[in-house]
Amino acid sequence: MPDELNRRPGRFGPIEMLLVAGATALLTATLTFLSVRLGDRAEGPSLGMSPALVIHLATVVPALPLGAYLLIRRKGDRLHRLLGRIWGGLMMITALASFWIRDISEDLSFIHIFSILTLVAIPRAVLLIRRGNVDAHGRIMTGVYIGLVVAGIFAFLPERLLGDWLWR
């Protein structure tokens, strides 16, 4: 009998704990790096990072590889559910924080459409999986991940904050 079936319900094995610890470490490292860069305004050029941008980047950076991992690994087991909850939480925080990130004209940009879709789609996907509609859940979560990638690509265009950091 596989080791996973021998464990007591609610207990996670060493691989699951390692993955959660790794995601936590990546999030912590990202927050630390961004906090240092945010506080480093006294000397050198300012990155212009608001707390909302720090939160947004600190949640989206670990969400990108975690989402890819969730899409390619086996579905439906305890690890998938645990990591899916973490990913969904990261994405909801990412989407919420984005509304305090504005373009130069202080308006919301077209990229914020992805935030609205995320805030609607993730609760919908959770509802669908709780009702047993696995196919619809999978389609929605895949769509949210693709939206994350597309929004990320748009964020690195010239004349956008991340694009300016990259191309200048």
The 3-class secondary structure across 8-32, one letter per residue, is: CCCCCCHHHHHHHHHHHHHHHHHHH
pLDDT of res. 21: 66
Question: What predicted TM-score, i.e. pTM, was given to this entire model?
Answer: 0.73
Higher pLDDT, 132 or 53: 132
Per the prediction, the chain carries an average pLDDT of 79
What is the tens place of the pLDDT at every residue in 83-135?
999 999 999 999 999 888 866 556 777 888 999 999 999 999 999 999 999 99
Higher pLDDT, 50 or 113: 113
Residue 1 in this model has a pLDDT that exceeds 50: no
Higher pLDDT, 33 or 80: 80
The 3-class secondary structure across 42-70, one letter per residue, is: CCCCCCCCCHHHHHHHHHHHHHHHHHHHH
pLDDT of res. 76: 92
Residue 159 in this model has a pLDDT that exceeds 80: no
pLDDT of res. 42: 43
b/e burial code for range 85-119 (CB count within 10 A of at least 16 → b): ebbbebbbbbbbbbeebeeeeeeeeebbebbebbb
138-142 own/partner pairs: CB under 8 Å, 24+ apart = 138/75, 141/70, 141/71, 141/84, 142/71
pLDDT band at residue 163 under the 50/70/90 scheme: confident
Sign of the CA dihedral running 160, 162, 163, 165: positive
